[in-house]
Structure 1
Amino acid sequence: MDSAVSYKCPCCGGTLVWNSKKQQMACEYCDNTFTEEQLKEILDLESSETTESEMNWNVTDETAVENQMEHMKVHICQSCGGEIVGDENSVATECVYCGSPSIMTENVSGVNRPNYIIPFKLDKKKAKEALKGFYQGKRLLPNAFSSQNHIEKITGVYVPFWLFDCDAQASVTYDATKVKLWSDSNYDYTRTDYYKAVREGKIGFEKIPVDGSSKMDDNYMDALEPYDYKQMTEFSPNYLAGYFADKYDVDAKESIPRANKRVKNSAEKKFKETVKGYDSVVAKNSRVNVQNGDANYTMFPVWMLNTKYEGKTYTFAMNGQSGKMVGELPTDKGKFWKYLIGISAAVFAVAQIAVFII
């Protein structure tokens, strides 16, 4: 079994967690705060003064061997000694017995260690407020969903991401049109001229995000963008304290197709901005060659919120840095038909008025 790391307050021995408001490690009991540098100095001093005793027991736990679960790992909580069971990708979690946050150091070391991290800026309270704000203005949302339902679970998660840098040599052909309209006393005329526009050039990309977790919905993760990379910092396990995290289970090589798709779409969009003077412009063919490609392993902050309504679970995700919220909402069928009938009636009334004027 592996050991899990839990950060302790040097003053009272309480659990230290990352405080998103103060941007420091904070004690849940005595409210003292510590910068990463201060905590490192204290831990280095303690480790130099403490010698751990060796206590070897020649006992084989046959029951544990027989009950090993494939792809699962057992870790020891440093606060209470309880066993924490997690999958092979678990990085940060909490003890089910004492609730202490724990970090599986073997999953954030060596090749598994992220290059960068964007720390949480918004806390759980902000996530709850953002969800209520997300409900507002949704005309077709059932009244009971927003007034009676309760958040079943809210979890702060560091999601593994790959940030791709590359240069791209692109050649894009666009189909473009110019439309001219005119009339005489007898007819209305439309003339459409068709053109081909070709754009070629080199374009550079930095920090194209692709999530490296198969557990996360790619559409949700894409919709949470953008993140402010100015607040990105070198990775330290301290930031994980008090949150959940998994290491990537989709590696950089497997993520390349998604990165390529984003490069292609972005290149087509950027070159399209130079095709001016037409009424319509559509990318027809494109050829994009990626050069000098590189990827950096990074962790992004995400709040995951779950709520139930009529037996169905609805999942929402919030950018833990900006507060942007995404998710699927239920639709009140009664409100939907009333809304549709109302629109149809309004369109019919306008048509009647137009006929009367004519």
Structure 2
Amino acid sequence: MTQQHEDGVKEVKVDFNTECPMCSASIAFDPSSGKLTCPYCDYEAEIATPEKEAQRTAQEMDFKATDRRESYDWGVDKKTLVCEECGAESIYDALQVADTCPYCGSHQVMEASTIDTLAPNGVCTFNVTEKEAGSNFQKWIKGRLFTPSAAKKSAKPEAFSGVYIPYWTFDSNTMSHYTAAYGITRIVEDREGNTRTEIDWYRTSGVYQRFVDDELVLASKRYDGELLRKVEPYNTTDNKVYKPDYLSGFLAERYSIGLDEGWGIAQRQIHTTLESEITQRILRQYGASQVANLQFSTTHDQITYKYLMLPMWLSSFRYKEKVYQFMVNGQTGKVGGRAPISPIRVTIAVILALIAIYVIYVFTQS
């Protein structure tokens, strides 16, 4: 239940009991077992699974039938979250949907939605534990070719934060009408026996149909998109119907990029994919060597979406007074981040590359 106060602060009642029935400590979702566990007395509880298969995973939602479509600015609204264990009140950004009580450590999960925003309908749970994320980071940092050895030896991740990040996925039946020019290369020989390459150009047009399945769009403006792309993809088909149980013990965030804005991003991503696929189709169809002046328009039909919460481990490490951030995909364990670069190593690599090019040139000339 959400109440709106005169000062614009929303009071949110925690709707999920995270108290351990054995020792009264806070229980949390355990990625290794898929259960709710207590870190103190080892109590475990199964998370109820719907009997019907169709109710176990997030269902596609009708894009056109959805009312709440706008984006939300992070931090514009605030809410008060009351801890049921110690009674402490904490102020959070309105889009933050899970957190830990800073006073007693209780893992709290607020209700799934407010009056203004959509509720997530699916969650890809953490499969990778915090320990595994740390191990993957160590392997990743050791594999950085241009990172100084001292950084590789000393780099240790700071405290990990397990975060559920909001994403949209979109499905669409696409039909693209296109026109283009394609070139076929031929070798021409003159009277003296010299050869040259010429390209004959032809016009073509056609229709390209494709079903787009789970086009992934980040629904937050808070995270580094470049870093996130390094740890993608996610297996979005491996999801469960949203329950607050899965968020217990983790941070999470509601979307700040709304449905319409997300669909606009998805359309641009789909356009880029279709451009590449239509080009490849023309090259194969005519045995062409080049495609030019490709123009096409695409219609989308039967558009559906899902609002998923996807798992991510966030951390950083410090080297020579500078902080380097990195992420670990909570589903696959893939690592992406930034690491210090040694100018000496880069210089040596460039010199070796130039030597190799010179040796190849000399060998081919001789």
Q: What TM-score comes out, normalization by structure 1 length?
A: 0.82
Deviations 1:18-48 (A, max 9, x none): 111111111222212111239xxxxxxxxxx
Gaps of 5+ in 2: 1-10, 50-74
Instruction: Find the partner of 1:18 among 7, 17, 29.
Output: 29
Matched residue, 2:275:
268
In structure 2, do the counterparts of structure 1 residues 156 and 144 end up closer, same or farther at CA, with 3 Å as the change threshold?
same
Matched residue, 1:27:
38
Instruction: Find the partner of 2:196 among 175, 189, 203.
Output: 189
**Residues 122-141 of structure 1 mapped to structure 2, 5 A cutoff:** 122-141=128-147
- Which residue identity lines up with residue 245 of structure 1 in the other structure? A
Q: Displacement of 1:150 after TM fit?
A: 2.5
CA distance in 1: counterparts of 2:158 and 2:292, whole angstroms: 45
CA distance in 1: counterparts of 2:268 and 2:159, whole angstroms: 34
Q: Displacement of 1:15 after TM fit?
A: 1.4
CA distance in 1: counterparts of 2:112 and 2:252, whole angstroms: 13
Instruction: Find the partner of 1:226 among 226, 229, 233.
Output: 233
CA distance in 2: counterparts of 1:78 and 1:119, whole angstroms: 25
Aligned length: 326
CA distance in 2: counterparts of 1:154 and 1:102, whole angstroms: 18
CA distance in 1: counterparts of 2:98 and 2:79, whole angstroms: 13
SS of residue paired to 2:160:
strand
Matched residue, 1:315:
325
Deviations 1:208-242 (A, max 9, x none): 11111110223333443322233211100000011
CA distance in 2: counterparts of 1:32 and 1:334, whole angstroms: 53
Q: Which moved more, 1:73-82 or 1:296-305?
A: 73-82
Q: Displacement of 1:106 after TM fit?
A: 5.9
In structure 2, do the counterparts of structure 1 residues 311 and 71 end up closer, same or farther at CA, with 3 Å as the change threshold?
farther
Q: Displacement of 1:257 after TM fit?
A: 1.5
Matched residue, 2:302:
292
In structure 2, do the counterparts of structure 1 residues 271 and 284 end up closer, same or farther at CA, with 3 Å as the change threshold?
closer
- Which residue identity lines up with residue 239 of structure 1 in the other structure? Y
In structure 2, do the counterparts of structure 1 residues 223 and 349 end up closer, same or farther at CA, with 3 Å as the change threshold?
closer
Instruction: Find the partner of 1:258 among 265, 273, 280.
Output: 265
2:109 is the counterpart of 1:103: yes
Matched residue, 1:7:
18
SS of residue paired to 1:336:
helix
SS of residue paired to 2:48:
helix
- Which residue identity lines up with residue 127 of structure 1 in the other structure? A
- Which residue identity lines up with residue 25 of structure 1 in the other structure? L
Instruction: Find the partner of 1:87 among 82, 89, 93.
Output: 93
Q: Which moved more, 1:2-11 or 1:244-253?
A: 2-11
- Which residue identity lines up with residue 29 of structure 2 in the other structure? W
CA RMSD of aligned residues (A): 2.5
Q: Is the 8 A contact 2:170 2:266 kept in 1?
A: yes
Q: Which moved more, 1:83-92 or 1:221-230?
A: 221-230
Q: Displacement of 1:153 after TM fit?
A: 3.6
- Which residue identity lines up with residue 12 of structure 2 in the other structure? D
Q: What TM-score comes out, normalization by structure 2 length?
A: 0.81
- Which residue identity lines up with residue 198 of structure 1 in the other structure? S
Q: Among the aligned pairs, what percent are the same residue?
A: 23
CA distance in 1: counterparts of 2:155 and 2:208, whole angstroms: 53
CA distance in 2: counterparts of 1:70 and 1:251, whole angstroms: 15
Q: Is the 8 A contact 2:25 2:106 kept in 1?
A: no
Larger Rg, first or second structure (1 or 2): 1
2:184 is the counterpart of 1:178: yes
SS of residue paired to 1:210:
strand
CA distance in 1: counterparts of 2:130 and 2:210, whole angstroms: 40
Q: Is the 8 A contact 1:160 1:248 kept in 2?
A: yes
Q: Which moved more, 1:247-256 or 1:312-321?
A: 312-321
Matched residue, 1:338:
348
